[in-house]
Structure 1
Amino acid sequence: MNEDAVQELISRKPELKSKRDKLAAMKAGSYCIHRSWGFGQIRDYDAGDQKLIIDFVDKPGHKMDPAFCLNTMEVLADDHILVRKQTEPEVIQEMIDKRPADLLVELLKQYPNNAATGVEVESVLTRVVGEGAFKRWWTRARREIARDPRIASPARKTGVYVLREEPVSMEEEILQDFKSTRSPRRKVGLAEKLFQAAKENADFRDPLGEVLETLDAIVRESRQLTEAERLHAAIVRDDFARLLGRDPGQLDPTTASLVAEARELPEVVAELPAAYQSRVLEVIVEAFPAEWKEVAFNLLKTSSGKFTSDCINFLLEHDLAEEILDTLKRWQTEQNLRAPLLLWIVKNRNSKRFRKIIGDLIAPRLLSSIFFAIDYEALQTAGTRRIPLAEELSDDQELITDLLAEADAETARDLANTLLLNQGFEELTKKSLLARFIKQFPTIQSLVAGEAEEREERLLVSRESHDRRTAELQEIIQKKIPENSRAIAAAREHGDLRENSEYKMAKQDQSVLLAKRAQLERELARAQVTDFQNATTDQVGIGTIVTLKDLNTGEQLEYTILGAWDSDPEKHIISYKTPLAASLLTHRIGEQVSVRIGDHENMVEIVGIRRYVDEAQG
């Protein structure tokens, strides 16, 4: 657009007078970036149509109203990094390949105060580098950028990259932060970064003696740290001592003494950063000369992730393969194999290194332990948090086949039934897993029909839980769906629906809302409200409070069995659909029942049955 075209547009639309400079910048040959269509170049201005002609990457010759462009498009300066990629492609490509820090410096010069957020930086550099190659390139580039003294890098993606007036090395910057902060926790975190920087820069050693003294004082004197945080600080302190050629054993307190003094060592280790958990194993023999073996097995029992492998390898290095196998079998019998350890077993079942210690465990009984661990974790977990063991069972196509290799039809049927009752899987996942059972044992097909019939049965629910679900459905129908419809309509006004991110997000929200609405409508259609008045004390039923006596410990437990949607574990209120309630239903006072409570499968005796409504009215 030339000056005459700008003036004509303003005379026709006086409200654009304040935007004269932006309109004047829309000259032929200028490069621009559009909110939806990305990078482009203004080719010309059609005075007849009064529209700009813009060559976007995927929309050449696209016509746009200049007034509309004011809010959706930015005209780029001639020295902008995206423009230079077109005008100086070889220079920019050389920076991409060899000098990523220089590329960021050039980009930051384009922003006010030479500062831009991580989101802004990544958005532009994705276009410069290319979307397909950006992720891998950025992972490498960030390491170089973090070491560049010209750039202050943020700790988080939402932070700000700043082009410094005076260069400051990464080591100097961390050291300044270390000296200025008063928080012992933050000092330890900064000391970790200093240690990594010092390992990569052999010339950076002089200030580390002061850092070591500070860390030693924190370990010795700080009262602000938990046991785990103090142990973490001691391990970092020891790393600095070794780097400076000093003996960590001469520092007091030693890491071994802190490990020995820990009141609940497994809990302390669980709170350590994952990268430091294995360091406890390095001092465990020194900390517990007589009982280190027992301590190591206790750590294995509650371990998770990489620390599980570390514990196993530690025990193998001490020639304890047979004891590992015996212990794992004992824990399986006691129902004490926890989900993270089970996950490690199934992931390593084909490993030659571990075959001797876990080969005998790959059997139907292990699948029972897996189902129990998943069900238990689902009962203890609020919301829809992922259960890694359940995901592994679903993702590993050969796992169920391997575990059922030695099973007979009756055992497989029992396990399939356990799967159907398990609360740790979605219905579609259950069907997928059940299909693997049926492939090996076709007679299990009848369970599918039985389960389908069960799903069509009426659900007995309390008035309160029915009202809650009804209110949730009404909120979706009366509030959330109309709001979503308005959002879709508003998003349509932004133009091309194929490139309209707001429209796509609103449509995705619509799919979620409609699916939730359908689910609630199906559940409410099956629901039958009950006031539990028909409950009797003759036998355990829906609407009863049952008192159990653990025949192993003598401890008495009390559970209230209510409707399908009633659950309050803290108050021992459970749904009649849970495995625990199902195992108790129809039994009478004096009868003994095998139930699973917590981590254990126990024999209990029913010693009392009361009506819930009598207690509630009382």
Structure 2
Amino acid sequence: SAALPEVIEMLNAEIATHQRTQPAVALEAIFIRDDLRAAAGLPPAEGELTAEAIWAQDVKFAQVMEQVPATKHRRALESFKAANPDKWADILLGAINSVSPRLCREFAQVLIAEGKLDQLKETLRRLINQHMASSELLLWLAKDRSDAFADIVGPEMFRAMLSAMEDDLFSNRRGNRLRDYLVADADLMADLIGSADLEIVTDLTRALQLSPCFDDERDRRSLLGRILKICPAIQPIVSGEQVKQDNALLVSWESLERRKKEYQELVHKKIPENSKEIAIARSYGDLAENHEYKAAKEMQKLLLQRKAELELELSRARGTDFSDATGETVSPGTIVQITELDTGHTETFAILGAWDSDPERGVVSYLSPIAQALMGHKPGDELVLELEHGQKRYRIETIKPWNQAQTAPVPEPAQPVQQTELPETEHHTQTTPHDVTGQLPQPVPASDSTESKSPQPD
């Protein structure tokens, strides 16, 4: 229209007036002016101030970006890149810890689009590991949780969140959006500590208990409840009760190493892979109808359930080579021969640890029903056993220490797993189990045992 040149002239006057005192206002006016001119097909006038000229001044980048309207953030960033082609990425990485969650997201999207993801992740890890990450930066990461940052959202980030919340508290900043979001997002805790071992979860639980950031104790109890659901082994820390020592599990070294390896695979492989699957599925949006997300979350539930079960089992485990079995009475680590009195049929059992079971080789867990019925009896004792087809009478013929009955050469014992901190177990002299025939058995988790009926995730 005829009035358009006058409007553009007025905008140019405003831009010149505010270019130094209010550069964000000048930038917005430049974008409006350029849009009007483009819509009318008018060429730029000679000598007009550009967005690049505003950025070329000595301005505070982060402060200006916060003052630019959110709808103009991306355009302002593109103009900043054009004005600083060699150093824009370093400036964005340096400023990302001092801007709002919305701008954190914008900065990240621009950096990723320009192939700077590795540098961005390196910056985020450094800020988190040094507990220098701001609550705004952490709030963006907690809300986003995209697949690009799945390996950053973890236990160290939870520790950094507690530190940032305390910094906000002691700096008298109003409100605490990070704390509020941590309490409100029921799924966040599983992403933060799901891949952590028991020692780290214990340390984080104590830090949460001591944190001064929770005015409402119900919020703290809610978070502790979520941690306890993910990791039941920390119950004594949450409740303040002493751990009971009378529920130890006697286990062979081979079965203990097998459990440790399963735990390690969960912590270092399966759970992190599942976290990445969740992050990818979340990026598809519309979680209510997102079948990939629901499936990944269901798998997370199974994996965390199995992790919790293993932590409880390993915290109770007492490794042994059964060298203390004497053979005077039936006990773990003995080979027992019994005779059915009605038929004269004899059977032999090697009664071993809680997680040893190979019925075809005669290996049974000391927690199995038949082992519990035989426990404590001596040679010559007669007893009635409750079997599938009714009761039968048996006599104990012989009892031998399982350790002394080995005839095959003992292979080198398995080396302890070092990569992952595991619940402490009591140790006795280490040897490798053998079955009653002297051949090295391959016991499987004791499906007959009341202690080993937990489902395992695929």
TM score, norm. by length of structure 1:
0.36
Q: Structure with the greater relative contact order (CA < 8 A, sep ≥ 6): 1 or 2?
A: 2
